[in-house]
Structure 1
Amino acid sequence: MRAFFTYSCLQSVPRHPSRGSHQRHRRAALLLAWLVLFGPPLNDSIAGEPAAPPKRQTASITLRFVSWKPDHPRVWDEALAEFTKTHPDISVVRELAPHSSTAYHDLLTQKLKNRDATVDVFFMDVIWVPEFAEAGWARRLDERFTPALREEFLPATIEVGRYADHFYGVPSRIDAGLLYYRSDLLTKYGFPPPTTWDELARQAETIVEGEQPRNPTLRGYTAQFKQYEGLVCNMLEFIDSHGGSLLTADGTHSALAKPEALAAVQFVRDRVIGRLASRAALTYQEPESLSVFLQGHAVFHRNWPYAWELANNQTRSTVAGQVAVMPLPGFTPGRTTAALGGWLYGISAYSQHPDEAWALIEFLSSQAMQKKFTQEAGIAPSRQSLFSDPDLLAAAPQLRNHFAVLRSATARPRSPLYPAISHALQRYFSRALAIDDLDLAHEATVADAQINRLLSLTEPVP
């Protein structure tokens, strides 16, 4: 319409030869008036040049998301692509750290100590919140992570993100130790799922002996016993299920030299390492220990909820369809302990894009995204409603059993100095399991003294 109006105005001017100059001035005046009223024509025909193509909109903000190397990279790639699609003005660059939580902690904290402004969003292990909050590395999320929003998550996942009445983390996933086992082998030998560690040991020894001609590499048990954070989780489960604990009830003193804790450590050294499990298990983190199980070389396996999908994945597991999962055994029937694990989303205190960082966290922690991660990556969700979601229960019926375990999982000590406390625990447990003739009582007393010195420097975390 605008182009037609211009053309008709120009054509309506008479073209008498004696009035050529006057007519040119009149046409110019009409054109100027039209431009003032309506702007340039859509097709730029007056200027005699073709219209310039519209400029393509590009992302104006780049977020840097520091995370560990995922077990299901495709799922994370799709999730971040979906975020970019719904937030075209924000691009996300991931910086992948090692799978080990200890190595990831070292990398991330070095960046935060240096006040690296390129770090925006990061994964935060549930045990890091006091440290990150006390150091001023994590941004407070009280106003964004409202009480109404917090009610949608499992209480345990909210509590681990709190420090001194402020909230620093939004739950991504919740973890708790579980026992995976070869249901086909237990059925073959007429065994019910074990409820105690002694029962598990007897079953494993019988099955390994019976399967020796067909599978000489089969071992009874595989778990995480390398000197890293996973070792602390495994040993907490043995100690707590034997009636012991890592710290006293008030959190002010180490309790490793208590009889219950010593007996649990001695059981692992004498009955598990080198017998139920290969001594190579002293070098295993989650991927290595799971690989042994997926290749059909172990009867029982301790891991987190994510291992369910991998264990039953036809392309990645030789025992798919022959695996079941249950709570970990205890030393007495009915007493079981699972270490509480999981990851939170945090925002760096030095990020220059906190609003965009929150948009990413809101998206990734949403019900739709947590459902996707559970369905396609086997990650246990932190949103309460998803444990009764019919789609998820149809695809992952084990979630029914996980819910009770996850709600009652045992947390590790909470302290701003937890990394130092953990290192002392790791050294003690590693030496205790690797050295057959080590004096456990003396070693535990030395570790208690080291940890007590650290605990005396801070108040117990509220």
Structure 2
Amino acid sequence: MKKVLAGLAAAMALITPTLSQAEKLVIACGSVGMEKDLCTQGAQAWAKKTGHTVEIMSAPTDTSQELAQLQQLMAAGSTDLDVARIDIVWPGILANHFLDLKPYISEDVLKQHFPSIVQNNMVKGKLVAMPWFTDAGVLYYRKDLLEKHGQKPPTTWQELAQSAKVVLEAEKKAGNDKLVGLVFQGKSYEGLTCTAVEWLDSFGGGTIVDPQGKVTLNNPKAVEAVDFFASLVGTVVPRGVLSYEEEGARGAFQSGSAVFMRNWPYAWALANSKDSMVKGKVGVIALPKGGPDGKSTGTLGGWQLGVPKYSKNKELAVDLVKYLTSVEEQKRRAVVGSFNPTITSLYQDKELLAANPFFGSLYDTFINAVPRPTITGAKYNQVSTEFRNAVYATLSGNGKAADNLAKADAKLKALSKGGKW
């Protein structure tokens, strides 16, 4: 009997983690809005279920800084990170440092997600990361202020500028001189690239580099788009926007200081939280067109989860990724924090749609979002930097769009080596 009991004890030890067998994993969590809290809660739920522990590594709010930090860790072959956040434009940049998840993820599970996002995460047949949540830029507006001053939600950027001026002038006469018209991500970082790609595409000015790899930045429509927004700085758009990331814009809007805001869907839950100054006063629509002949467009965003090949706990890390990207976890994050699922079936979920009504009305915006030029592969970050610096210079009053975009266009053409990225 003693031998039998000893054998059972040994078998159980192989199945159930003991204190000595429990492993500690480190996951990078975002710091924008409710990201860190939701990520931490999900990781802790997995830890409780498995008997392991998870430590949170906070990522910078500036995604450009986050990429640099991640590249430094990977270049050093660091074992300090087991699960990493990967922006939708990073798979081609980071692929060599990450585990291929395809052997661990069934085809049935992959088919649950948007095919375009799964494909985006494939690099030379390797599944670099699993889709976690998707994004597209949207327009938030103050329903109460537009109704009060006889304005309708804008369908073009020109209408938005005009409506903002009407509201600002009327509110100023009433003593509200703190109000501004439009806020967005205007700091020279990846957020400005996302915002400005929307401007270009909405005016018919392309997406910096076309799907065949040709640099298309220097064109009249792109110049018109950037000059238009530069003309608003100091009137409809406050100069402070030039230092705003996502949270800066959200802070201004949520405090009641802005009529319109360009941001990601995550801001919805926070704008309607119990301590928000604009709770119940906010509408969300697709971003405006660049004039009557333009188009409504939102830049494709979103984040994935991947496992660095230097992790000492690869299989456990994969299990954590599978848990955090599951149907149940994506639904929880959507209901609580307005993070768009990458699992298509959730867009018919009644509880999710009740919490985020615009997920249904803007479904086409999310599935048809305009991608950034990831055809540039490992050089994407250089492309993005040249582009946003040119846009930022124009917004700051340092030259006209025609000159700034022409200079950036020339640099990108030299970088592309004839379109062969």
TM > 0.5 fold call: yes
For 1:71, what is the secondary structure of its paired residue? coil
Normalised to the residue count of structure 2, the TM-score between the two structures is: 0.92
Q: Provide the C-alpha distance between the structure 1 equivalents of 2:134 and 2:4, rounded to a whole number of angstroms.
A: 63
Give the 3 Å change call, closer, same or farther, for CA 250–70 of structure 1 in structure 2: closer
Q: Is the 8 A contact 1:161 1:168 kept in 2?
A: yes
Q: Provide the C-alpha distance between the structure 1 equivalents of 2:400 and 2:277, rounded to a whole number of angstroms.
A: 41
Cα deviation 1:375-395 (Å, max 9, x = unaligned):
111111111111110111122
Deviation, structure 1 residue 200: 0.7
Q: Provide the C-alpha distance between the structure 1 equivalents of 2:223 and 2:158, rounded to a whole number of angstroms.
A: 17
Deviation, structure 1 residue 250: 4.1
Q: Which residue identity is paired with 2:259?
A: V
Deviation, structure 1 residue 458: 7.6
Give the 3 Å change call, closer, same or farther, for CA 455–221 of structure 1 in structure 2: same
Q: Which residue identity is paired with 1:291?
A: G
Deviation, structure 1 residue 59: 5.1
Deviation, structure 1 residue 74: 3.4
Match of residue 225, structure 1, among 186, 195, 218: 186
Q: Is the 8 A contact 2:391 2:404 kept in 1?
A: no
The match for 1:68 is 30
The match for 2:163 is 203
Give the 3 Å change call, closer, same or farther, for CA 141–459 of structure 1 in structure 2: farther
Q: Is residue 318 of structure 1 aligned with residue 281 of structure 2?
A: no
Q: Provide the C-alpha distance between the structure 2 equivalents of 1:387 and 1:214, rounded to a whole number of angstroms.
A: 43
Deviation, structure 1 residue 347: 0.7
For 2:247, what is the secondary structure of its paired residue? helix
Q: Is residue 80 of structure 1 aligned with residue 43 of structure 2?
A: yes
Q: Provide the C-alpha distance between the structure 2 equivalents of 1:75 and 1:440, rounded to a whole number of angstroms.
A: 40
Q: Which residue identity is paired with 1:57?
A: L
For 2:162, what is the secondary structure of its paired residue? helix
- Residues 14-413 of structure 1 aligned to structure 2 (within 5 Å): 57-58=19-20, 60-72=22-34, 73-88=36-51, 90-133=52-95, 136-212=96-172, 213-270=174-231, 272-315=232-275, 317-333=276-292, 335-413=295-373
Q: Which residue identity is paired with 2:240?
A: A
Cα deviation 1:82-129 (Å, max 9, x = unaligned):
1111111x2111111211111111111100000002221100001111
Q: Which residue identity is paired with 1:84?
A: A
For 1:417, what is the secondary structure of its paired residue? helix
For 1:416, what is the secondary structure of its paired residue? helix
Q: Is the 8 A contact 2:44 2:53 kept in 1?
A: no
Deviation, structure 1 residue 413: 0.8
The match for 1:433 is 395
Q: Which residue identity is paired with 1:235?
A: A
Q: Which residue identity is paired with 2:270?
A: L
Q: Is the 8 A contact 2:101 2:318 kept in 1?
A: no
Cα deviation 1:216-248 (Å, max 9, x = unaligned):
110110111110000111111111110011334
The match for 1:44 is none
My pick for the range that moved more, 251-260 or 444-453, is: 251-260
For 1:132, what is the secondary structure of its paired residue? helix
Q: Which residue identity is paired with 1:79?
A: G
Q: Provide the C-alpha distance between the structure 2 equivalents of 1:66 and 1:229, rounded to a whole number of angstroms.
A: 19
Question: Aligned pairs, how many?
Answer: 406
For 2:24, what is the secondary structure of its paired residue? strand
Q: Provide the C-alpha distance between the structure 1 equivalents of 2:198 and 2:314, rounded to a whole number of angstroms.
A: 38
Deviation, structure 1 residue 278: 0.5
Q: Is the 8 A contact 1:252 1:452 kept in 2?
A: no
Give the 3 Å change call, closer, same or farther, for CA 267–82 of structure 1 in structure 2: same
My pick for the range that moved more, 288-297 or 397-406, is: 397-406
Deviation, structure 1 residue 56: 6.4
Structure 1 regions of 5+ residues with no counterpart? 3-34, 40-54
Normalised to the residue count of structure 1, the TM-score between the two structures is: 0.84
Q: Which residue identity is paired with 1:376?
A: V
Q: Provide the C-alpha distance between the structure 1 equivalents of 2:265 and 2:113, rounded to a whole number of angstroms.
A: 17
Q: Which residue identity is paired with 2:234?
A: G
- Give the greater-gyration-radius structure (CA): 1
Deviation, structure 1 residue 192: 1.9
Q: Provide the C-alpha distance between the structure 1 equivalents of 2:57 and 2:149, rounded to a whole number of angstroms.
A: 48
List 4+ stretches of structure 1 deviating above 6 A.
35-39
Cα deviation 1:239-273 (Å, max 9, x = unaligned):
11100113343443322210010010110111x21
Cα deviation 1:150-203 (Å, max 9, x = unaligned):
110112321221222321110010010000000111111222211001111111
Q: Provide the C-alpha distance between the structure 2 equivalents of 1:37 and 1:338, rounded to a whole number of angstroms.
A: 64
The match for 1:418 is 380
Q: Is the 8 A contact 2:387 2:405 kept in 1?
A: no
For 1:282, what is the secondary structure of its paired residue? helix
Cα deviation 1:132-162 (Å, max 9, x = unaligned):
11xx111112222333221101123212212
Q: Is the 8 A contact 1:120 1:347 kept in 2?
A: yes
Q: Provide the C-alpha distance between the structure 2 equivalents of 1:106 and 1:321, rounded to a whole number of angstroms.
A: 39
